[in-house]
Structure 1
């Protein structure tokens, strides 16, 4: 049914949603974005599903947005860019509002949009060897559509430490920043995720869904107006000279014009 993700649900109703573009480090292509939205809708509507674990196949959890997809946006008109950015924003929102507990189990590195996926989970665990980073500014872009979820998870003060610098950080710092609840040895990751899932199986699923919805309503506002604001901010960057230079430099395997040696 899916090309870029897999879903396996056991007899208890625990679904494992796996990003499965191993050869592309699970970067989010247009197809994956659409499939994540479909998966969230499918899992949310299935009364047999009690909890969802989000993980990745291969060494990398998610390298962020697929560079080919970004390159396509650079060549598109503003209306097309807005439509495509909205698809990404709605995929994140569909996962963020999934009426089931969503447990992130990051088996490898998470960059850019991968940090966004980590931030929409109710609890996110990570292998203790992983690296994370909001790397968009290296390309002349900004972490726009993922921004509301990242800042809701980290808080503004902690987000300022890593939101603009594209600096990579390790699992221990990710815990300190609030992106990960815990870092565990890679071999213990899925057992740790199972331990997070287990209490929910004794809870009333409707009450869990209502409690999650209330938590979101009481937390930072992430509504259509906020989402549209982030989309416009991203499209504005796509239309600027820095994004053209940054993405071109990436594909040319050279430093962009603004980069200096530290």
Structure 2
């Protein structure tokens, strides 16, 4: 197994891809394992899902030997294979939990899809990024909806077409990553503590709200939806506890 899923004492699921000898490149087996672990994590009552990799590099994207084998297959085989990668991106992007990605070293090709699918991305200060597909005569097709949503169409027009390598500071300017750090573990621990201090139901509801509201026209339907959501959570057990704790100047129960 190249992928492991562990639940910490803080009730955080940590998903680790461990193929450092292959620069954590993924093939059909790795994609299958990632899907299984993420789908399982999505059913759990956890506070967050963290995606990490072992070794010097986050991921080189697709495994070269796997790509070579797929090049020898017909269109239908390639389509089925691509749909599995699409499923991986979908189950990660649609996770009901807060998802965090920790990036070190090189993140190339499809790896940028994994980063863009996560809610929050942390990057080591010396990390490097590249949408490298066109160098191989390919395109970043399956990951494109998620990467374009993260960095915008204008930036995609440059980096999809040039396959330039860019650094962590550029990745942050583009919106691909949120925070640059010299110590990934410390930054991750601090971020997780910040998330865990918040209401667990509210955090998941806030993520669902983003998914339901983003890129929608502000019409009567959206106005009604948002009013209903806040009314519902105000009268919920967690909402009542959070407000009561605030006015009583004490920690809410979920922090105890």
TM-score per shorter chain, which class? 0.7 to 0.9
Residue 125 in structure 1 maps to residue 119 in structure 2: no
What is the Cα deviation at residue 106 of structure 1? 0.6
Distance 1:217 1:21 in 2: 36
Aligned to 2:9: 11
Instruction: Select the residue among 98, 107, 112 that pairs with 2:109.
Output: 112
Contiguous gaps of at least 5 residues in structure 1 = 222-262
Aligned to 1:227: none
Query: Is contact 2:20-2:54 (8 Å) kept?
Result: yes
Aligned to 1:244: none
Residue 169 in structure 1 maps to residue 166 in structure 2: yes
Deviation per CA, 1:32-86: give whole Å up to 9, x if none: 1011111111111011x21122111000101001112212221112111111100
The 3 A distance-change label for structure 1 pair 220 and 148 is farther
Distance 1:148 1:219 in 2: 14
Aligned to 1:194: 189
Distance 1:28 1:218 in 2: 33
Instruction: Select the residue among 17, 20, 30 that pairs with 2:18.
Output: 20
Q: TM-score, normalised by structure 1?
A: 0.79
Distance 1:105 1:162 in 2: 21
Aligned to 2:247: none
What is the Cα deviation at residue 205 of structure 1? 2.8
Distance 1:82 1:205 in 2: 39
Deviation per CA, 1:145-197: give whole Å up to 9, x if none: 00001011111112222121110011111111111111111xx1111112222
Distance 2:48 2:33 in 1: 19
Query: Is contact 2:59-2:108 (8 Å) kept?
Result: yes
Deviation per CA, 1:202-261: give whole Å up to 9, x if none: 33333322321221233359xxxxxxxxxxxxxxxxxxxxxxxxxxxxxxxxxxxxxxxx
Q: TM-score, normalised by structure 2?
A: 0.81
How many pairs were matched up?
216
Contiguous gaps of at least 5 residues in structure 2 = 217-256
Using the TM superposition, name which of 154-163 and 139-148 deviates more: 154-163
Using the TM superposition, name which of 200-209 and 37-46 deviates more: 200-209
- Which protein is bigger by CA-based radius of gyration? 2
Using the TM superposition, name which of 211-220 and 11-20 deviates more: 211-220
Superposition RMSD in Å: 1.4
Task: Map residues 27-46 of structure 1 onto 2, 5 A cutoff.
Answer: 27-46=25-44
